[in-house]
Structure 1
Amino acid sequence: MKYNMLGMTALAAVLTLGACGSNNDAMDDAAGGDNDDQAPTTEETGDATETAIEDDKAGENPSGGKNDGQSETTQGYGFKDFDLEIDVDGKDAVDASYETQEDGTFEAEYKNTLEGVDYGDDNKQEEAMNELDALFKEIMLDQNVNEEEAKKKILNALEIQDYTKFELEVNFEEGPNLNIEENK
């Protein structure tokens, strides 16, 4: 009887622990486990942020994603509005705009004729936001940036050496706004 009770207790403990499963990614990876129902981690992809933006469905990704032309914004760029226009040799080169709405949605447009990109239509919101998200993460503007530094960051990010017109308006959530108008 003593051995029956001990065996039943051991069996119950094993079943209880087995039913709990494992949420430890290191143990899963070491055991060769595959956890497809979770977003990729930095160890798996090298860059979880970009993969998450590409893989997630509507309303779940950091770049919005309702996919209806007006997406919810959760980016936290530090500004409410961003409007950029750059001309090269007197012709439109880059037109980019991002505007958040009171209800938490945003509108985005991105056109770069130097790269043959035009996401200006309402049905191209997701593509425009992906381009803008990459740009915003590269230039990292905040309310403390001066005009020359902001212009330099943007031109470097867009790989533009010379321009004939540079106009930028950024309305930050806190602090002074940034306005640059320069024609050569």
Structure 2
Amino acid sequence: MKGKMADLGYREFELEISYEGGKEYEAEIERNEKGAIEVKIEDELNGVEIEGKEAFKLLYPRLKEMAIKRKTPKRQAIRKALQAFHLPANYKKIEIEIMFKDGSKLEFEDKK
């Protein structure tokens, strides 16, 4: 997983989306205190909750497709995330947080 994360250029990634009816979608890749990668997907839209390598196998191609960079504008980043994760655009709230491998961060939040 570490090698593939380096390919993406991300150190950590988090996507949280809230929809009508209290449904949420969350995808997260983070490093714990020991530097190990922890991956989790909680998809209430489809009733899916997975962690670890299985979650990483689902997230990696989506993150690769998403290809958000430091200078990606907010609207474009949101559109890319929704498309890459095959999620509806009728969200109530969306948050995207990315820490790049150089330590810089990108954070977007939008509410409808």
Kindly indicate which of the two structures has a greater share of residues assigned to helix.
Answer: 1
TM-score (norm 1): 0.53
* Helix, strand or coil at the partner of 2:64: helix
**Post-superposition CA distance 1:106-149 (Å, at most 9, x none):** 00001112222111xxxx31111112112112201222222111
- Corresponding residue of 1:171: 99
Q: Secondary structure at the match of 1:74?
A: helix
2:40 corresponds to 1:109:
yes
Relative contact order higher in (CA < 8 Å, ≥ 6 apart):
2
Q: Which structure's residues are more often strand, by fraction?
A: 2
Letter in 2 for 1:110: I
Q: Provide structure 2 residue ranges, at least 5 long, that are not aligned to the other structure.
A: none
2:65 is the alignment partner of 1:150 = no
| Poorly superposed stretches of 4+, deviation over 6 Å | none
Aligned residues, how many?
109
TM-score under structure 2 length normalisation: 0.83
Q: Which residue of 2 aligns with 1:128?
A: 55
Structure 1 segments unaligned to the other structure (5+ residues): 1-63, 65-72
Asked which structure has the greater CA Rg, the reply is 1
* One-letter amino acid matched to 1:74: G
